[in-house]
Amino acid sequence: MEKFVNLMQFVIRLMTHLNVGAALGMVAWIAWSGWQLSTGQLRPMYRAAEVKTLVQLGQHRSPNAWSLEATPPASPTCHDGAMDGLRAAAEPGATP
């Protein structure tokens, strides 16, 4: 029984050290990637406004989004007037 207790204490200490190490690694990665974004070394593929427009038009889908639906959900009605030009340009065969 004493060997089992010693083993459990060892596992608990090991997991504590692993969790602390993982937390420090995550903090370092977040600081590093934030530094790259703030200094302009890393530029996002899309601006936030472009992503919002693509999502509202149903043009951007993540691998799991709407996987069970045949059509994308309708865009919000509060932006219908402002999005008419973008929606027309996004339709297949439309010319901007």
95 assigned to some structural domain: no
| Coil, helix or strand at residue 87 | helix
Domain that residue 6 falls in: 1-43
Residues 2 and 15 in one domain: yes
The pTM of the whole model exceeds 0.75: no
Residues 39 and 2 in one domain: yes
Question: With 90 as the cut, is the pLDDT of residue 9 above it?
Answer: yes
Residues 57 and 37 in one domain: no
- CB-based burial label for 54 (10 Å; 0-12, 13-18, 19+): middle
Other C-beta atoms within 10 Å of 56: how many?
Answer: 19
84 assigned to some structural domain: yes
Residues 54 and 86 in one domain: yes
Q: For 43-83, how does the pLDDT look when each residue is reduced to its tens digit (9 = 90+)?
A: 777 778 887 887 777 765 555 554 555 555 555 555 555 55
Residues 39 and 52 in one domain: no
Count how many domains the chain has: 2
